[in-house]
A and B are shown apart, each in its own frame.
Chain A
Amino acid sequence: GESVGLHLPTLSVQEGDNSIINCAYSNSASDYFIWYKQESGKGPQFIIDIRSNMDKRQGQRVTVLLNKTVKHLSLQIAATQPGDSAVYFCAPSGSARQLTFGSGTQLTVLP
């Protein structure tokens, strides 16, 4: 089955700095990648997605980079704000059933 991991379980950044959250996956057949944000006590929420035929996608203050050669993707958050504090999950997907989540990275924004 798919193995999904994130490089760091916790990440602390100063408010205003940029954050980079990394994720490695094992299934080269994954054709769709989703990042979710989970605030404390709530369900995960969709942030941004990227298809395997792309290597970069930008949203509002967030950018996802995909490197299929090394099976790695990253989520970059610009000008990190206190509201960005949450657990971030990447979820590679080959089908609706095969949505696999790693253990997530806890992002803490320091004042």
Chain B
Amino acid sequence: AQRVTQPEKLLSVFKGAPVELKCNYSYSGSPELFWYVQYSRQRLQLLLRHISRESIKGFTADLNKGETSFHLKKPFAQEEDSAMYYCALMRNGNNRLAFGKGNQVVVIP
């Protein structure tokens, strides 16, 4: 079975500092990887997915199959980045998401 691990529950960073959220997964096949974000009082929404190779709101994530990781990075954190971030995996050909436990990010002004 697939598993997604987000080791740090809470991450506090100062505004303008870099932020990196770690995500490791266990799955023997070729997964689809996602980062979902939940801002205060809002619903869970897609931030980015590895296959699109986009930068969304300054965030990027690179899939490293050798290290089975999909870490989320942003060079300069903004106050509006304060939110809950979830890494999620979808098996190839399977439409169900397996989520990590999430990271609470707090950006200190």
Real complex partners, A and B? Answer: no
B-to-A contact residues, CB < 8 Å: none
A-to-B contact residues, CB < 8 Å: none
